[in-house]
Amino acid sequence: MAKITMVGAGNVGATAVQHIAQRELCEELVLIDVIEGLPQGKALDMWESAPLFGSDTHVRGSNRMADMEDSDLVLITAGLARKPGMSRSDLLDKNAEIMRSIVQNVVKYASDAIIMVVTNPLDVMTYLAWRVSGFGKERIIGMAGVLDSARLRSFVAMELGVSVKETQALVLGGHGDSMVPLPQYTTVAGIPITQLMDAVTIENLVARTRKAGGEIVELLRAGSAYYSPGASLAEMVEAVMKNKKQILPCAAILSGEYGLSDMCAGVPVVLGRWGIEKIVEISLASSELEALRKSAEEVRKDISRLNLP
């Protein structure tokens, strides 16, 4: 019986759980949070909606880490959210403490699980989860590129007045201002956007994609994005639970790919039942490869603050 645990019952975690339950990606879905009543209330509300969308995925809430026992997949969204003017790096120290504790519990109660990380700063937290868990790198996946690529796709569709279904995009690198959107791999019905819009327009869309999370934070004034991150995580979960062998841009631990080692960065990967089954190395222009490596170095600086052995 497939079991998924979500650690973190905030907006991102709860939104992702609802998507996962609606798609019936597992039989049992546990929502864990430290706040008493919060995961229980949200889980019960979701379960009461199950008859309306025809899902038999049983959602339940808990305050006990032990209830993740024997999970096939553990999703981690727990942590502090960004506030206006706060960078992802500002979140590092507190969220690192939270991440260590959660991953130690995964090792204790769900030692065969695949871990998906959403907590910011995303790339650093994904690397930390790998080091703390001792799991193989294929079992540690960060949610970044799927979200950033979806944002770029949405902006392209808005600019050209076309269906989002016709758009594809690829965003690599760290999940932040140094991310690397790739116009040559961003298409509409297979046509590169470099043939559909001028360079200035493309650069404006790239810039907006880099700042997309901050744009939402500023608009909300209290809180951050959760609809698009929740949907992005569910997309990754479906690729794993259905063994879809889907190529998606995810934060992965690199061992020489793209000239990067002992590092976490967003790259195209093949996602299947055992996690990251392959890291796909695509052809990049020299400027793009330089930008990817520069983005990775920004992540490396934050990793050095973790004081890992």
Q: Which residues are catalytic?
A: 175
Cα–Cα distances in angstroms (integers) from residue 40 to residues 15, 32, 34, 59, in the given order: 15, 8, 11, 9
Contact 61, 114 (CB under 8 A): no
Burial call 152-187: b when 16+ CB within 10 Å, e when fewer:
bbbbbbebeeeeeeebbbbbbbbbbebbbbbbebbb
Element (DSSP H or E) covering residue 51:
helix 38-53
Helix (H, G, I), strand (E, B) or coil at 110: coil
3-state secondary structure of 188: strand
Question: Is residue 210 within 8 Å of residue 291, measured between CB atoms?
Answer: no
